[in-house]
């Protein structure tokens, strides 16, 4: 286990609902088997990050269910209260997502009803920071999860900052904005992805995008963010929807460009071929404002072919 006896520690405890799916959280943070930036065991997540520029490690410990013990271990003092840590962790675990309202709306739906029954309590675990979700979304454009994981790993190995635990912190907006194409391309990134990452970093540093905040978005910011993202070169509908979903827990992004979503929808609707993006978008639109949550239930459908959701 990584040594967390150094630095400053802030702790709190969260009560979890009875239907909370611990394994979903563990699986999300276990995507990279080499565990350079995060370490996951049977009951806890250790996730390194640069919190306001300070190397830190967030621990989510499920060993005392039905509660989660949350702690932030930073290598220097940071401005974070126990209450703010609890609010942040609640969002990371999807506890603020209105899944009860969604279930009430669609429990009797002839198609979604079965999916809801198969995966009760399904929530969307969040990336530690929206900026990490944004980087993953850009890296993952048009490639497999495995390929995206490899590129992300090289990015962290090359430009990450080491926390005192030994885990590596994903580079933040300040680090990525200061790099050039020649430095980033060897990680496996195309020119267009390098440009998109640097644009996201620079817009974040300029205060135009709230990608490094841990507090909840206010209503005005949440309504403005989709258009702000789509206005950036290299950020299309799938990328924007993924950032909204994994970065902020906003559940109405349309993941109609996702290949797994389309294949699972083909099976759900008993179609001979997978629907195209236009058809998938039209089908998902009928479930607004829960389109991304519907996509997550499609991701969670059992399948003989092993797949990893984003």
pLDDT, tens digit, for every residue of 80-130? 999 999 999 999 999 999 999 999 999 999 999 999 999 999 999 999 999
- For residue 218, is it within any domain? no
Residue 309: the pLDDT is 53
- For residue 14, is it within any domain? yes
- For residue 31, is it within any domain? yes
CB burial of 70-89 (b: ≥16 within 10 Å; e: otherwise) equals: bbbbbbeeeebeeeebbbbb
- For residue 237, is it within any domain? no
Integer Cα distance of 300 and 138 in angstroms: 23
Kindly report the pTM of this predicted structure: 0.92
- Average pLDDT across the chain, whole number: 93
Q: How confident is the model at residue 73 (pLDDT cuts 50, 70, 90)?
A: very high
- For residue 136, is it within any domain? no
- For residue 80, is it within any domain? yes
Integer Cα distance of 226 and 253 in angstroms: 9
Residue 306: the pLDDT is 54
- Tally DSSP H helices, then E strands, for the chain: 15, 7
Q: How many domains does the chain have?
A: 1
Average pLDDT score over residue span 145-151: 94
Residue 226 backbone phi and psi in degrees, to 5: -55, -45
Residue 2: the pLDDT is 62
CATH number at residue 20: 3.30.310.10
Least confident range from 2-16, 95-109, 211-225: namely 2-16
Residue 8: the pLDDT is 81
Domain that holds residue 25: 8-96
Residue 8 backbone phi and psi in degrees, to 5: -115, 140
- For residue 45, is it within any domain? yes
Q: What percent of the chain has pLDDT over 90?
A: 89
Residue bearing the bigger pLDDT, 305 or 110:
110
- For residue 37, is it within any domain? yes
Could you report the per-residue pLDDT of 239-266, keeping only the tens digit for each? 999 999 999 999 998 889 888 899 999 9
């Amino acid at each position: 286990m990584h040594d967390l006896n150094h630095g400053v520690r802030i702790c709190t405890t969260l009560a979890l609902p009875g239907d909370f799916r611990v394994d979903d959280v563990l699986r999300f943070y276990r995507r990279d088997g080499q565990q350079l930036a995060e370490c996951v065991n049977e009951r806890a997540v250790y996730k390194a990050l640069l919190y306001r520029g300070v190397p830190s490690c967030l621990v989510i410990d499920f060993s005392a269910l039905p509660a989660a013990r949350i702690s932030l271990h930073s290598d220097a003092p940071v401005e974070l209260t126990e209450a703010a840590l609890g609010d942040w962790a609640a969002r990371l675990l999807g506890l603020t997502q209105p899944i009860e309202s969604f279930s009430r709306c669609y429990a009797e739906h002839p198609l979604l009803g079965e999916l809801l029954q198969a995966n009760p309590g399904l929530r969307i675990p969040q990336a530690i920071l929206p900026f990490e979700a944004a980087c993953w979304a850009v890296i993952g454009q048009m490639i497999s999860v495995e390929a995206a994981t490899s590129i992300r790993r090289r990015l962290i190995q090359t430009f990450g900052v080491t926390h005192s635990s030994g885990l590596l912190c994903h580079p933040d907006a300040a680090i990525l904005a200061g790099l050039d194409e020649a430095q980033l391309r060897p990680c496996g990134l195309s020119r267009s992805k390098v440009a998109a990452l640097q644009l996201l970093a620079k817009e974040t540093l300029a205060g135009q995008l709230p990608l490094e905040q841990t507090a909840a978005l206010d209503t005005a910011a949440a309504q403005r963010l989709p258009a702000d993202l789509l206005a950036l070169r290299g950020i299309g509908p799938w990328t924007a929807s993924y950032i909204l979903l994994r970065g902020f827990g906003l559940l109405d992004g349309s993941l109609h460009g996702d290949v797994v979503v389309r294949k699972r929808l083909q099976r759900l609707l008993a179609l001979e071929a997978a629907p195209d993006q236009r058809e998938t978008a039209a089908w998902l639109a009928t479930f607004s404002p829960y389109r991304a949550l519907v996509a997550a239930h499609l991701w969670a459908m059992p399948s003989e072919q092993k797949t990893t959701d984003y």
